[in-house]
């Protein structure tokens, strides 16, 4: 069984965030959101990297890594303090001893998802944490020796985390490879640096336009390398096509053509562009046309760190120019999705796509399906059917279309739930026939078998998905769901927790099955807590209110249960207990009890 309830630590050097699971099951994301703060996260990563290299949780002498610390200080740290040995080591020692362990005041990071409040006896505002949470974090920071001869230990064992339960991320790599690539990128940046003023990190004080919450991108006009001014229109056309395609991607802010073309022909640094346009990412490229042949080069850059996230070159015939444009745009979208939204699932989404338009339709549908609303599901189904007509051999379309038919059942939209599930099963099998190595196809197939109450088949297919891709959060989630529906909630909980561990900032849908598992194992307060996490992300999620209503009935809180029932009817005025009870995929005794509890809450 997966021991997913244990704590874990993940240091993301792309976003300069530390994801932490404490013993109390508290999930924290700490954002080191300024140059000096990023420096201290990189020091933590250095200590962790050296411990992982040695295979032991032990103290690391900093003096042996002085050159590396200077590089970190002068690059991502933006020389916020002196790099002289006596000053640098003393500063690290003091911060490790006094500032980094302070979770309540958090002088070196921001705790995402929390707000500082007035504390009892505190001079300034503080984050609210339990003593167990504060102690768990503080115990990580051990030190030995003097300020000049400091040895640091990131004592993960103090919160029950082994070295194999820690990870360092950079680019698409993990641990040692990620650390090496991170350092190589800093060394490359130092070599290319023309002056400290030019390469300083983007400052919020200098920003003319603030960064939006969603990922944001600007596509600079592609440079004409042909030596023929008449080819400018050709380069501009490629730029415009990429902007147009990116603009169709959900949850992505794309700067309009008129704004980016004001930079055409001008030398501009990506950090200046970020400050002036309010973007995190920049695409730049060039076009060289010779006769009937064309070469297009493109790269995607993180404007805040000046790191190159992706670069490629495409050679082709002019007759294939639209296919080349599509390839470039598909690569950019996939890279962005991997970095910021769907994680590694983005690579699964893009696998097998031959048509850019089909991929964009898929992404639009994916966003709608996850909202779990009638309107969204109906629109997603139409988009996916349109995409299948464009690219009939694209496996991910059939997987998502299968889940759309499942949601049609869940939302009470199906004229015949049995027929909708049969259609979903056909679509999942079609996806597997197109790509039998795709782990998600098997776990989706298992999910549908579970909906049909064929529990043994469901669990077997979901286990197959996990074995094919043991790093997929969605596959662990579906295995947990299948166990839930089979009435095996105790077994389900560790798999669902593993899914959240693999996806530390999960979408709302991850918390629903955990609420169900807690509910069906008698842990009603925990069930309500998980359901409320859903509502923080999606206030109109009727299923979260259903689990809150049932759990409150079982706790004897009829008033709270009826309030949740009222919310269900507000969201879905056509909600009816009889058809809902029929589609519940649990064993009969569990399903009948849920329906009875909802009736007690006032639903009919």
Q: What is the pLDDT of residues 460-475, one digit of tens each?
A: 999 999 988 777 788 9
Task: Supply the CATH number for residue 550's domain.
Answer: 1.25.40.10
Question: Is residue 275 assigned to a domain?
Answer: yes
pLDDT at 335: 63
* Confidence label for 353 from pLDDT (cuts 50, 70 and 90): confident
| 3-class SS of residue 31 | strand
Q: Is there a single domain that holds both residue 15 and residue 164? A: yes
Q: Residue 405 and residue 477: Cα distance in Å, rounded? A: 19
589 pLDDT above the threshold of 90? yes
Checking DSSP bridges between strand 223-224 and strand 281-290, what pairing results, if any?
Answer: parallel
The pLDDT of residue 77 is 73
Same domain, 53 and 156: yes
Q: How far apart are the first and last CA of the chain?
A: 40
Domain count, the chain: 4
Mean pLDDT of the chain: 83
Residue-by-residue DSSP string for 270-316: HHHHHHHHT-SEEEEEEEEEETTEEEEEEEEEETTTTEEEEEEEEEE
> Which of 402, 436, 470 represents a domain boundary (last residue)?
436
Residue after which a domain boundary falls, among 341, 371, 388: 341
Q: How far apart are CA 99 and CA 93, in angstroms?
A: 10
Bridge partners, 144 (sequence order):
151
162/17 same-domain check: yes
Q: Determine the pLDDT at residue 191.
A: 59
Domain membership of residue 552 as a residue range: 507-604
| pLDDT at 343 (0 to 100) | 44
| 372 and 230 in a common domain | no
pLDDT higher than threshold 70 for residue 352: yes
Are residue 146 and residue 27 in the same domain, yes or no?
A: yes
Predicted confidence band of residue 364 (pLDDT cuts 50, 70, 90) = confident
In 3D space, the residue among 308, 16, 55 whose CA is nearest the CA of residue 169 turns out to be 16
Examine the pLDDT at 3 and tell me if it is beyond 50.
no
Inform me whether the pLDDT recorded for 122 exceeds 60. no
Report, as an integer, the average pLDDT of 171-190: 83
The answer to whether residue 337 scores a pLDDT higher than 70 is no
- Residues 165, 28 share a domain: yes
Percentage of the chain with pLDDT > 70?
Answer: 86
Same domain (yes/no): 304, 234? yes
Average confidence (pLDDT) over 551-571: 96
* 433: pLDDT strictly greater than 90: yes
The answer to whether 300 and 308 are in contact (CB under 8 A) is yes
Same domain for 76 and 156, yes or no, is yes
Q: Is the pLDDT of residue 485 over 90?
A: yes
Let me know whether 540 and 412 are in one domain.
no
Same-domain status, 336 and 385: no
Mean pLDDT value across residues 256-271: 81
> What pLDDT, on the 0 to 100 scale, is given for residue 553?
97
pLDDT confidence of residue 21: 78
Q: What pLDDT was estimated at residue 480?
A: 97
Please give the structure tokens belonging to residue 347. Answer: 């690579």
pLDDT at res. 445: 96
Shared domain for 30 and 134, answered yes or no, is: yes
Return the axis-axis angle of helices 321-340 and 356-371, rounded to nearest 10°.
Answer: 30
The answer to whether residue 24 sits within a structural domain is: yes
Angle at CA of residue 533, ends 581 and 587, nearest 5°: 25
What is the per-residue pLDDT for 537? 84
* Nearest partner of 362 among 478, 412, 351, judged by Cα: 351
Structural domain ending residue among the three candidates 416, 436, 456: 436
Q: Give the per-residue pLDDT at 473.
A: 82
Question: Average pLDDT, stretch 32-49?
Answer: 91
- Whether residue 327 contacts residue 362, with contact meaning beta carbons closer than 8 Å, is answered with no
pLDDT of residue 505: 64
| For residue 147, pLDDT beyond 50 | yes
Query: In terms of pLDDT, which residue wins out, 320 or 69?
Result: 69
Tens of pLDDT, residue by residue over 380-423, are 999 999 999 999 999 989 999 999 999 999 988 999 999 999 99
How many Cα atoms within 13 Å fall on the side-chain side of residue 60?
A: 27
The top-scoring range by mean pLDDT among 448-452, 474-478, 573-577 is 448-452
Return the closest-CA partner of residue 383 out of 405, 361, 368. 361
> 50-80: per-residue pLDDT in tens?
999 889 999 998 888 888 888 898 888 765 5
Q: Is the pLDDT of residue 233 over 70?
A: yes
DSSP H/E element including 217: strand 216-219
What's the rounded Cα separation, in Å, for the pair 69 and 230?
51
pLDDT band at 453 (very low <50, low <70, confident <90, very high): very high
Cα–Cα nearest to 498, from 464, 518, 519, 475: 475
Residue 403 lies in a domain: yes
- 482 domain-assigned: no
Cα–Cα distance for residue pair 242/283, rounded to 1 Å: 10
Residues 415 and 303 in one domain: no
């Amino acid at each position: 069984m997966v021991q997913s309830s244990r704590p874990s630590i993940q240091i993301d050097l792309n976003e300069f965030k530390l994801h932490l699971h404490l013993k109390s099951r508290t999930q924290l994301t700490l954002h080191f959101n300024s140059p000096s703060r990023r420096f201290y996260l990189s020091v933590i990563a250095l200590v962790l990297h050296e411990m992982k290299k040695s295979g032991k949780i032990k103290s690391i002498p900093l003096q042996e890594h002085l050159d590396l610390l200077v590089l970190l200080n002068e690059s991502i740290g933006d020389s916020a303090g002196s790099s002289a040995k006596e000053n640098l080591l003393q500063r690290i020692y003091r911060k490790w001893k006094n500032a980094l362990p302070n979770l309540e005041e958090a002088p070196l990071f921001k705790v995402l998802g929390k707000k500082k409040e007035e504390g009892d006896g505190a001079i300034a505002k503080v984050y609210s944490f339990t003593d167990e949470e504060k102690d768990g974090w503080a115990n990580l920071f051990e030190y030995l020796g003097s300020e000049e001869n400091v040895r640091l230990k990131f004592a993960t064992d103090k919160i029950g985390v082994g070295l194999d339960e820690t990870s360092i991320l950079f680019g698409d790599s993990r641990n040692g490879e990620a650390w090496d690539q991170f350092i190589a990128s800093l060394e490359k940046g130092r070599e290319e640096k023309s002056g400290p003023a030019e390469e300083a990190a983007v400052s919020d004080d200098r920003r003319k336009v603030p960064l939006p919450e969603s990922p944001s991108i600007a596509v600079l006009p592609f440079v004409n390398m042909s030596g023929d001014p008449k080819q400018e229109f050709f380069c501009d056309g490629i730029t415009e096509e990429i902007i147009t395609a990116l603009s169709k991607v959900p949850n992505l802010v794309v700067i309009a053509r008129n704004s980016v073309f004001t930079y055409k022909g001008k030398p501009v640094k990506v950090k200046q562009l970020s400050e002036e346009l309010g973007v995190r990412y920049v695409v730049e490229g060039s076009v060289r046309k010779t006769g009937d042949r064309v070469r297009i080069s493109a790269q995607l850059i993180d404007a805040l760190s000046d790191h190159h996230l992706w670069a490629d070159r495409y050679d082709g015939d002019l007759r294939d120019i639209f296919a080349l444009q599509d390839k470039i745009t598909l690569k950019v979208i996939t890279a962005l999705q991997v970095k910021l939204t769907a994680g590694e699932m983005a690579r699964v989404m893009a696998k097998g796509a031959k048509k850019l338009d089909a991929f964009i339709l898929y992404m639009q549908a994916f966003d709608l399906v996850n909202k779990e609303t009638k309107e969204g599901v109906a629109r997603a189904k139409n988009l996916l059917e349109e995409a299948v007509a464009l690219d009939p051999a694209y496996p991910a379309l059939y997987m998502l279309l299968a889940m759309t038919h499942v949601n049609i059942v869940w939302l009470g939209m199906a004229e015949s739930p049995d027929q909708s599930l049969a259609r979903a099963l056909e679509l999942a099998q079609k996806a597997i026939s197109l790509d039998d190595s795709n782990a998600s196809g098997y776990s989706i197939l298992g999910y549908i078998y579970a909906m049909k109450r064929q529990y043994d088949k469901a669990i077997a297919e979901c286990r197959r998905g996990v074995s094919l891709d043991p790093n997929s959060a969605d596959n662990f989630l579906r295995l947990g769901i299948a166990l839930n529906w089979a009435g095996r909630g105790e077994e389900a909980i560790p798999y669902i927790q593993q899914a959240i561990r693999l996806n530390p900032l999960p979408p709302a849908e991850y918390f629903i099955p955990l609420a169900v598992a807690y509910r069906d194992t008698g842990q009603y307060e925990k069930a309500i807590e998980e359901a409320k996490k859903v509502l923080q992300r999606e206030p109109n999620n009727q299923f979260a209110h259903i689990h809150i209503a049932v759990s409150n009935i079982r706790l004897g809180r009829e008033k709270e249960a009826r309030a949740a029932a009222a919310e269900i009817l507000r969201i879905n005025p056509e909600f009816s207990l009889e058809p809902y009870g029929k589609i519940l995929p649990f064993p009969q005794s569990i399903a009948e009890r849920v329906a009875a509890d909802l009736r007690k809450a006032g639903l009919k």
